[in-house]
Structure 1
Amino acid sequence: MPLAQALPGCEDALPQTLQRLRASGVVGSPQVPGACPLIVDDEGRVYLHRDFDLERRLAQRVVRAARFDPQPLTSEVAAQLGALFKADADADAVPDWQQIATALALRQRLLVISGGPGTGKTTTVVKLLACLLAQAPQARIALAAPTGKAAARLVEAVNARATNLPAALRERLPQTASTVHRLLGVTPQGFVHHAGRPLALDVVVVDEASMLDLALATQLLEAVPAAARIVLLGDQHQLAAVESGAVFAELAVDPGLSESCRVALEAACALPAGSLRPPTPLQRGALQDSVVWFERNYRFAASSRIGRLAAQIKGGEGDAALATLQEAAQPDTADGELLWCDDADTPPAPRVRQAWLQGHGPYLQAVQQAVQQALPAGPEAAAALAHAFARFRVLCAHREGARGMAAVNAALDAHARQRLALLHAQHPSPPGSAFYVGRPVMVLKNQPLLQLFNGDIGITLPPAPGESGLVVAFAQAGGEVRRVPAQRLPEHQSAWAMTVHKAQGSEFDAVLVLLPEARSPVLTRELLYTAVTRARQRVLLAGSAAVVAAAIAAPTRRHSGLGARLREALAALVPSEP
């Protein structure tokens, strides 16, 4: 936090205050941090020493990757790019930023791609990996994401978009993805891989990188070999990580290109000279030639109300967003894609409660059919139930309260127990247990020994032959299923509803976004944008006009100094000329 904000009204005395603090021996500076427990940087930000050290180490690693000697974009590379992107040529999308991002990743060691859902980030990664594998068939590639669900979705998306590649290339694409924790080899003592014992990899692709907090981002990038390529995919407009830092947003602020890089990209992508003009940066950054913004959405048509609402929220256009919601609420203009319930009731209005019951109805029916038909205990049945459950979710801004996650989960637990009473009688749980067949469960605490991590979601199932008591099946990336006895789970909760923070990295066919009855510090523009963009097909937004407007008018402000540390690291790496 800036010292000026911590001491409002004392701006004139700040220089003297800083001088006294630094003379105390308790507060250090970026230039002389020493062993001081607190650091105050040149812009007045106050850090714990640990956080400042993490920020500086991350900046140094990122800048070294960004400034690594660029690779030439040869005529062979240009031919590869032309072949891969020829079928996607679109006169309305010149220049093709997916092609440019691929070329940039082939030239540089670091690429940061920021774009919303449906803007083509995964498609670009598939084509990039195809180019890299054509050049180096034995390249060691890892796909990763902060959560298990995001990792599974990444590998599914990669496989789906690889169908047009030659079979020889398709077979060499990674078939699995892991969480960042699994990639680093988490143990009770820490991580197996770190700066002193780096990963044996040539390429690391991290999806949903906006979820990386300062500590995990630093540990990950320090564990990547210096010569390896790093590709970070995310959306700078989404919620930042729950823990400290706004790492991805700070890295993605400036999509600027140097003159030499621009010329090289235009030649490799067969663009007219001078035609490549990146978007205007949010502010000047230190990662020139390493950032691309994807702004064209391929998922939602221009007429899509979800796409329009998301853009209006992102842009802070409160009046326009409310007009879109009001249009969607009118019977004569409703299209089923976007619905709005102007509701601030406590508890939620009957229409809202009915919507969450109906939303999970197909999943409950699938559980009944699967268990009654005694489907095999193999991974296919469990994966099918996990897929059915993933189609709909209630997303809450708050954990507690009548419109919070806990209340919705309690209501849906009661409904599910009643709906699945016969299955519960056939496969009872111990007295007092919260478990029942069909209960969806979210893990809340890492348990490395069980290979379970915060955010993993599993489905409670009857025991298979040889198992004792109910089990929870967790679908893994690559089609595998991990079955864990219910009584061995670490801290967990029901997963019918989840907070928007926990929903990051996930997508659903439909979501019900349940806003609080009144304004809240938690309810921000980024939270509302993240909630709406979790949906692929349908959104029901339940909240009053006043609460929606307040959220859009409240952008998150994190006082990160990563941008300053990046500039310092760049200056140290490339000293200014005298």
Structure 2
Amino acid sequence: LVSIWEEEHEVTLAQQQRDAVIASLLHGVVILTGGPGTGKTTVIRSMIDIMGKQGLEILLAAPTGRAAKRLSEATGAPAATVHRMLEAQGREDGEMHFARDAECMLEADVVIIDEVSMMDIVLMQHLLSAVLPGSHIVFVGDADQLPAVGPGSVLKDILRSGVFPCVRLTQIFRQNNRGTIVLNAHAINTGTMPTFTGNDFSFVSAVSAEEAAKQVLSICQSLIEEGHSVMDMQVLSPMRREACGVDALNRTLQEALNPETEDNASIAGFRSGDKVMQIRNDYTKNVFNGDVGRIVWIDTEKLIVQYTDDVDVTYTRDEFASLTLAYVMSVHKSQGSEYSTVILPLVRAHHIMLQRNLLYTAVTRAKKRVILVGDRTALFTAVSNDRTRRRYTLLAERLAERI
């Protein structure tokens, strides 16, 4: 089947990629992991084509709306958020109810979940309870990225348990315009300092957090003057506090890039034209935690946000708290997204968050350009520090005992 697919599509899969496709056909649960540029998307596409031709019903999903959209664009197949696939509904008591569960299971022969590292143990439990016995599940993700914001470390625990077939893609394929970014991401992941050889991966020196904040602003202004949209660039920060933290930098960039005027007054901290982010799932509005858009209308009673898929969403005054400025966001919030340009301040004031997996996650968000701003000591600390806060779950041990 794999050879036939290769002939039809004039594609030759690497041996690891072939192993992954074959494993998905032979086993009920398969984990596909690997860093950027290792061909995970090609494997998913081939799985969809081959299984689809066998008449199997396939569902694709990812933990966030942005990751689901990326998955759909990359594969050409429809993809949903895990919440949407499970038909999540908010209840009046604020709790979440899933219409798809053990009583009303998903009608699918194959379920493929991308960006599994972002899933916490609660959402994983809801997903697995809704999968029909005998179905195939393919978990895809990069175990070296940051763990989920919620409890657990599901992908790492499943891998550590060793009870399911796992294919780890290690061969890096040529990238059109992400070559330096991908190579540096893999270097960082092995504890090697990145190389700054061109415009697509650069370092701007700053001796203090305050100077770094000024440099970040200057870079953003220069990019806008070059014709880049504020929606195509993303400043990421390891922390919320300090001069280079999310909160202070958001205010700095808002004042400089979208200043208050007589015609554009600030209402509840927002202005027309501001880049904003939804910070909680809202199933009635069909917007989800991490969705980013731009305010296109605001008055004292309401505001309207246009999201990236040209969907306008109206917020009443009491719903403004569901939004926050998004000129800058935390690295955690950026997971599952891609941006043309990523700007990342790295300063010693953020020392407790200077970790390898955080730097690796930030760098792999960029499609065309990475600009690091700060001092090289902070960069060296981040690259060298592979100690992450251990999550004690016992999931790996329980899987090993029961399976």
- Fold similarity call, TM over 0.5: yes
Q: Report the equivalent of 2:117.
A: 210
Deviation at 1:303, TM superposition (A): 10
User: Given the alignment of the two structures, is residue 443 of structure 1 paired with residue 366 of structure 2, yes or no?
Assistant: no
- Give the distance between the partners of 1:469 and 1:243, measured in 2 at CA: 31
Matched, 1:357 2:221: yes
With over 3 angstroms needed to count, the CA separation of the structure-2 counterparts of 1:472 and 1:82, relative to structure 1, is closer
> Is the alpha carbon distance of 1:123 and 1:435 closer, same or farther for their aligned partners in structure 2, counting shifts above 3 Å?
same
Q: Note the C-alpha offset of 1:455.
A: 1.0
| Contact 1:404-1:516 within 8 A present in 2 as well | no
Shift of 1:504: 0.5
Q: Hey, what does 1:182 align to over in structure 2?
A: 84
DSSP-derived class of the 1:104 partner: helix
CA distance in 2: counterparts of 1:534 and 1:508, whole angstroms: 6
1:157 to 58, 74, 78: 74
CA contact (8 A) 1:208 1:234 kept: yes
Answer whether contact 1:81 1:99 (CA < 8 A) is retained: no
More displaced, 243-252 or 392-401?
243-252
CA RMSD of aligned residues (A): 2.6
Higher normalized helix content (fraction of residues): 1
Q: Structure 1 residues 389, 184: closer, same or farther in 2, change over 3 A? A: farther
Using the alignment, how far apart are the partners of 1:506 and 1:211 within structure 2?
12
Give 1:461's aligned amino acid: V
Describe the SS at the equivalent of 1:339.
strand
Deviation at 1:490, TM superposition (A): 4.9
Give the TM-score normalised by structure 1: 0.63
* Distance in structure 2 (CA, Å) of the matches to 1:104 and 1:245: 26
Q: Residue 241 of structure 2 aligns to which amino acid in structure 1? A: E
- Matched to 1:500, the amino acid is V
Say yes or no: does 1:406 pair with 2:247: yes
Q: Distance in 2 between matches of 1:532 and 1:131?
A: 33
Instruction: Summarize deviations over 1:310-331 as a string: whole Å, max 9, x none.
Output: 12221123xxx0xx44xx2xxx
Q: Which runs of 5+ in 2 are unaligned?
A: 92-96
- Deviation of 1:351 (Å): 3.2
Amino acid at match of 1:286: V
Q: Does 1:514 align with 2:378?
A: no
- Kindly report which structure 2 residues correspond to 1:436-475, keeping only aligned pairs within 5 A, or say none: 436-462=271-297, 470-475=303-308
The answer on 1:307 being equivalent to 2:182 is yes
AA aligned to 2:87 is G
Q: CA deviation at 1:545?
A: 2.1
Count of residues in correspondence between the two structures: 392
Kindly, what percent of the aligned residue pairs are identical?
Answer: 32
Q: Mapping of 1:161-560 within 5 angstroms?
A: 174=77, 176-189=78-91, 190-253=97-160, 285-287=162-164, 290-300=165-175, 304-317=179-192, 321=193, 324-325=194-195, 328=196, 334-349=197-212, 350-360=214-224, 388-418=229-259, 425=263, 428=264, 432-462=267-297, 470-476=303-309, 481-485=311-315, 487=317, 488-518=319-349, 520-555=351-386, 556=388, 557-560=390-393
Q: Is 2:34 the counterpart of 1:132?
A: no
Deviations along 1:463-488, one digit per CA (max 9) or x if unpaired, are: 8xxxx954112345xxx624223634
- Structure 1 89/193 Cα, relative in aligned 2: closer, same or farther at 3 Å? closer
Residue 145 (structure 1) shift: 1.1
Q: State the partner residue of 2:24.
A: 105
Deviations 1:519-548 (A, max 9, x none): 522221110111111112211111322222
Aligned CA distance change for structure 1 residues 182 and 118 (closer, same or farther; 3 Å): same
Aligned to 2:209, the other structure's residue is in SS state coil
Q: CA deviation at 1:216?
A: 1.0
**Preserved CA contact (<8 Å) 1:445 1:490:** no
- Measure, in 2, the Cα distance between the counterparts of 1:484 and 1:504: 26
Where do 5+ consecutive residues of structure 1 fail to align?
1-76, 160-173, 254-283, 329-333, 367-387, 571-578
The structure-2 alpha-carbon separation of the partners of 1:391 and 1:348, relative to structure 1 and needing over 3 Å to count, comes to same
Task: Give me the whole-angstrom Cα distance separating, in 2, the residues matched to 1:114 and 1:519.
Answer: 30
Does structure 1 retain, via aligned residues, the 8 Å contact 2:238–2:350? no
For residues 299 and 352 of structure 1, do their structure 2 counterparts lie closer, same or farther at Cα, with a shift above 3 Å needed? farther
Q: How far 1:248 moved relative to its partner?
A: 0.9
Contact persistence 1:214–1:245 (CA under 8 A): yes
1:129, distance to aligned residue in structure 2 (A): 0.8
Higher strand share: 2
Distance 1:490 1:154 in 2: 29
